[in-house]
Structure 1
Amino acid sequence: DTFTEDQICQVQEIHVGKPRIVATIVPKGSPFKKMMIYG
Protein backbone atom coordinates (compact mmCIF):
# COMPACT_ATOMS: atom_id res chain seq x y z
CA ASP A 1 0.00 0.00 0.00
CA THR A 2 1.13 3.53 -0.66
CA PHE A 3 0.02 6.65 1.14
CA THR A 4 -0.73 10.07 -0.24
CA GLU A 5 1.38 13.02 0.85
CA ASP A 6 -1.59 14.38 2.85
CA GLN A 7 -1.94 11.09 4.75
CA ILE A 8 1.77 11.06 5.55
CA CYS A 9 1.61 14.65 6.87
CA GLN A 10 -1.35 13.77 9.13
CA VAL A 11 0.62 11.08 10.98
CA GLN A 12 1.49 12.32 14.46
CA GLU A 13 2.68 9.15 16.21
CA ILE A 14 4.04 5.84 15.05
CA HIS A 15 3.76 2.97 17.53
CA VAL A 16 6.79 0.75 17.02
CA GLY A 17 6.48 -1.64 19.93
CA LYS A 18 4.74 -2.29 23.21
CA PRO A 19 5.05 0.53 25.77
CA ARG A 20 7.36 -0.29 28.65
CA ILE A 21 6.87 0.73 32.25
CA VAL A 22 9.98 2.41 33.58
CA ALA A 23 10.33 2.85 37.32
CA THR A 24 13.01 4.09 39.65
CA ILE A 25 13.48 2.77 43.16
CA VAL A 26 13.76 5.64 45.63
CA PRO A 27 13.74 5.27 49.41
CA LYS A 28 10.63 6.53 51.23
CA GLY A 29 11.03 10.13 52.38
CA SER A 30 13.94 10.79 50.02
CA PRO A 31 14.23 14.28 48.47
CA PHE A 32 14.84 12.58 45.12
CA LYS A 33 11.24 11.33 45.17
CA LYS A 34 9.97 14.92 44.95
CA MET A 35 12.43 15.60 42.13
CA MET A 36 11.02 12.66 40.18
CA ILE A 37 7.40 13.72 40.77
CA TYR A 38 7.74 17.43 40.01
CA GLY A 39 10.72 17.36 37.63
Structure 2
Amino acid sequence: MGLWTVGFFDPDGKWHTDSDHGDRESAARRVAFLNGSNISFAE
Protein backbone atom coordinates (compact mmCIF):
# COMPACT_ATOMS: atom_id res chain seq x y z
CA MET A 1 0.00 0.00 0.00
CA GLY A 2 1.20 3.50 -0.72
CA LEU A 3 0.67 6.63 -2.70
CA TRP A 4 2.05 7.23 -6.17
CA THR A 5 1.95 10.78 -7.48
CA VAL A 6 2.11 11.47 -11.20
CA GLY A 7 3.39 14.81 -12.41
CA PHE A 8 6.19 16.63 -14.14
CA PHE A 9 8.91 19.21 -13.65
CA ASP A 10 8.62 22.40 -15.68
CA PRO A 11 11.69 23.97 -17.32
CA ASP A 12 12.31 26.01 -14.15
CA GLY A 13 12.46 22.83 -12.05
CA LYS A 14 9.07 23.29 -10.35
CA TRP A 15 7.04 20.11 -9.72
CA HIS A 16 3.45 20.03 -11.01
CA THR A 17 1.16 17.27 -9.75
CA ASP A 18 -1.23 15.66 -12.22
CA SER A 19 -2.84 12.93 -10.11
CA ASP A 20 -2.41 10.60 -7.13
CA HIS A 21 -2.90 6.82 -7.25
CA GLY A 22 -3.22 4.11 -4.64
CA ASP A 23 -1.24 1.56 -6.65
CA ARG A 24 1.68 1.69 -9.03
CA GLU A 25 -0.19 0.07 -11.92
CA SER A 26 -2.75 2.91 -12.00
CA ALA A 27 0.04 5.46 -11.83
CA ALA A 28 1.87 3.68 -14.67
CA ARG A 29 -1.27 3.74 -16.84
CA ARG A 30 -1.65 7.49 -16.24
CA VAL A 31 2.01 8.16 -17.06
CA ALA A 32 1.71 6.10 -20.25
CA PHE A 33 -1.43 8.01 -21.24
CA LEU A 34 0.15 11.39 -20.59
CA ASN A 35 3.16 10.37 -22.67
CA GLY A 36 0.92 9.55 -25.63
CA SER A 37 1.04 5.78 -25.37
CA ASN A 38 -1.79 3.67 -26.64
CA ILE A 39 -0.50 0.58 -24.83
CA SER A 40 -3.22 -1.22 -22.96
CA PHE A 41 -2.32 -2.40 -19.47
CA ALA A 42 -4.09 -5.45 -18.04
CA GLU A 43 -6.44 -4.50 -15.24
Calculate the TM-score normalised by the size of structure 1.
0.25
More strand by share: 2
More helix by share: 1
- Please identify the structure whose Cα radius of gyration is greater: 1
* Structure with larger RCO (C-alpha < 8 A, sep 6+): 2
